[in-house]
Amino acid sequence: MFLNKFVKCLTPYKVTTHKAWELDSRGDVLKLDWNESTVPPSPKVKDALVKFANNGTMNWYPDVDNKVFRNLLSEYSKVPACNLEYFGSSDALHEYIIRSFVNPGDVITLISPTYDNFRAAAESIGATINYFPLNKDNTFSFSYLDFELHMQSICPKIVYLCNPNNPTGTNYSTEVIEKLVRRFNDVLFVIDEAYYEFSKITASSLVTKFENIIICRTFSKAFGLASFRVGYALGSENNINGLKRIRNPKNISSCAQVAAIAALNDIKYMEDYVNEVNYTKLWFIKELESIGVNTNDSEGGNFILLDLGINKSLVIKKMEDNNIFIRDYGHINTMEGYVRVTIGLKKQMVRVLEVLISLDLNEKTRSA
């Protein structure tokens, strides 16, 4: 009754199944449903948190301008410190971008299917969402020329582009992004690089050259800090200052800052994990092909889409029986038979493969 008129008719962002959190013992749980890291963060994170627990200022608000963190982020992302700002997750950053740059009625174009948080945040303040579909081919490829025509007819205020795209893995080269940013210089391009560490493609070199691009990054994926909620923005000084006008600097907890600094002090640990995931993904795709499971040959990111068709519910159930959780994409109407599986270490993905093999899906598809 008291909800604003936009929230009243909003379709909420659909969270993943709650079952993994409900288990008493989490020892052998493989949580592959939200693209989190499948291993704990660098041991340096734990050491730093223990030190903070013993000697830190738990009774103080968090550092509201953490220069050590800011400088490490600048070094890591190779942009000047004045061109970045940290937030309590990239989801929170999406919300700040919406609140800073969008008016009710503004049109926002999403390249779909894609990560849905930006859409929900935008609709909650009365923005109008417009979709440009990826091609319905095996790789969910992006057609630049069609997009150009689409942009000419729609003239959105913002384009949200996830690179690599969750859940399809579609990669956009930096050249394509630069072409778009130059061509549509009155449109703000929000580039979500949540999986940048896995694809190694970034548009970060553009943020000091163009006003109409903001990049969102997170510590929730490759760095393994999803529980702490840390993300950051890369953008022009003007856009960063715009975000700062409404950013609440107390909302990035001290533990989150301590953890993120420690993770940035052990880049090698993160890179070793990323290398294993990228290698395992290629291996896993080959194995899936050999047992007749359709994948989308997903390019970037620590995840893969499987088209299981009529076998989807059976696979999800059997995985859960084995304490493996994967993401059902049935809530998207073009993707009823799809699941998204986070890729982890090879020994973890062997477990997933064993479950799939035990189901003999080819046989079941034939007899259905």
Nearer to ligand PLP among residue 115 and residue 198 (C-beta):
115
220: contact with ligand PLP by CB under 6 A: yes
Strand 107-112 relative to strand 158-162, pairing: parallel
Q: Are 120 and 12 in contact (CB under 8 A)?
A: yes
Tell the smallest beta-carbon distance from residue 152 to ligand PLP (Å).
Answer: 26
Residue from 77, 83, 170, 218 binding ligand PLP (CB under 6 A): 218
Q: What is the largest CA-CA distance in the chain?
A: 64
Tell the smallest beta-carbon distance from residue 262 to ligand PLP (Å).
Answer: 17
Q: Are 315 and 359 in contact (CB under 8 A)?
A: yes
> DSSP characters for 235-300?
E-HHHHHHHHTT--GGGS-HHHHHHHHHHHTTHHHHHHHHHHHHHHHHHHHHHHHHTT-EE----S
Whether residue 113 has a cis bond before it, omega within 30° of 0: yes
Q: What is the distance between the alpha carbons of residues 49 and 4, in angstroms, rounded to a whole number?
A: 40
What the block records as the tokens of 319 is 């995985």
Span of 18-26, 89-97, 98-106, 310-318 interacting with ligand PLP by CB under 6 A: 89-97
226: contact with ligand PLP by CB under 6 A: yes
| Site size with ligand PLP, rule: CB under 6 A | 14
170: contact with ligand PLP by CB under 6 A: no
Site string for ligand PLP, 95-124 (x = CB under 6 A): --------------------x---------
90: contact with ligand PLP by CB under 6 A: yes
Residue for token digits 């740059």?
101
Tell the smallest beta-carbon distance from residue 36 to ligand PLP (Å).
Answer: 8
Tell me how far CA of residue 264 lies from CA of 100, 136, 138, in angstroms. 28, 38, 36
194: contact with ligand PLP by CB under 6 A: yes
66: contact with ligand PLP by CB under 6 A: no
Q: Tell me the three state secondary structure of residue 67.
A: helix
202: contact with ligand PLP by CB under 6 A: no
Residue from 123, 192, 197, 299 binding ligand PLP (CB under 6 A): 192
Residue for token digits 């070199």?
205
Residue from 20, 30, 33, 35 binding ligand PLP (CB under 6 A): 35
The amino acid sitting at 228 is F
What the block records as the tokens of 300 is 């970037």
Nearer to ligand PLP among residue 77 and residue 218 (C-beta):
218
Nearer to ligand PLP among residue 35 and residue 236 (C-beta):
35
Q: Are 20 and 326 in contact (CB under 8 A)?
A: no
Angle (nearest 5°) at CA 189 between 118 and 33: 35
89: contact with ligand PLP by CB under 6 A: yes
Binding site for ligand PLP (CB under 6 A): 34-35, 89-91, 115, 162, 166, 192, 194, 218, 220, 226, 231
